[in-house]
Amino acid sequence: MNRKGSDFAGLSVALVTPFRDGKLDKPALKDQIEFQLEAGTHCLVPVGTTGESPTLSHLEHEKIISEVIQITAGRAKVMAGTGSNSTAEAISLTQWAANEGADATLQVAPYYNKPTQEGLFQHYRAVSEAVDIPICVYNIPGRTGRNIEPETIARIAEFGNITMVKEATGSMDQASQVLAMTDLTVLSGDDTMTLPLLSIGAEGVVSVVGNIVPRDMLALVRSFAEENLNAAREWHNKLFPLCRDLLSIATNPIPLKAAMAELGRDTGELRLPMTPLNDSQLQFLKETIAHYGLESVSV
């Protein structure tokens, strides 16, 4: 089957938003983007969950989208995180991203207000009708409090510019249903689930750990695409402990930013209500990245 959204197959990286003294650290953002481009990352995903979007002002949200598009300058795709639990707000942010030149938008399911399945359908219909760029439905019920059921995704998939699903339910059954019922491209929304999801028909990943080891995540995805299953399994087994620990020590992106700070690639600064790792957590993180073969540096 030729699936909609297959041009976004491969490695997408959910970028952190670097802060320094409470403000966007633009030089660090540029360095991060260049790091990803040098690694061969296919698509950059700013201002999603990993980018601490809930703590950004609307002006900051728009500014970061614009900065990423301008710095990337067509060297990779940009899928801007523009979702909201307010449909009007999601439309406004998405129209901004489209006008700035984003290649696609990542639309998280409306969170906290827990709409019905009909409400979810109407939300995505309204966003779809407001813009022309491809839309990736982001289904992460652990964060939003509401699963977009496969039957609802099948209804949403009828809209021409709904082309992808970022699958973060943790359910292989749900992913299988979406793949069987629609022609949408499925992207893993959980690093540890990338290979299992590829095995049933997913075509890529929106990665968190790709912020620090994009080449390794890309090698996993490419190995599978080239039908080198032994190499794909080897990369999965190597990456799994790092992915698991970065997602289990504390809420994303707290451990990721700490790891990036240890590697000299970020200040590690967070915005409340996100708080830094405690001493024991930080020591565990240091051991994890050292075991992987990454070298800590002073920052």
Active-site residue numbers?
138, 166
Q: Is the dihedral of CA 137, 140, 146, 147 positive or negative?
A: positive
Helix H or strand E encompassing 135: strand 135-139
- Measured CA distances, 238 to 160, 197, 223 (Å): 38, 17, 14
CA 286 to CA 274: how far, in whole Å? 20
State the residue for tokens 């080891």.
213
Say if residues 44 and 12 touch (Cβ distance below 8 Å). Answer: yes
CA 234 to CA 240: how far, in whole Å? 10
CA 257 to CA 19: how far, in whole Å? 10
Say if residues 167 and 187 touch (Cβ distance below 8 Å). Answer: yes
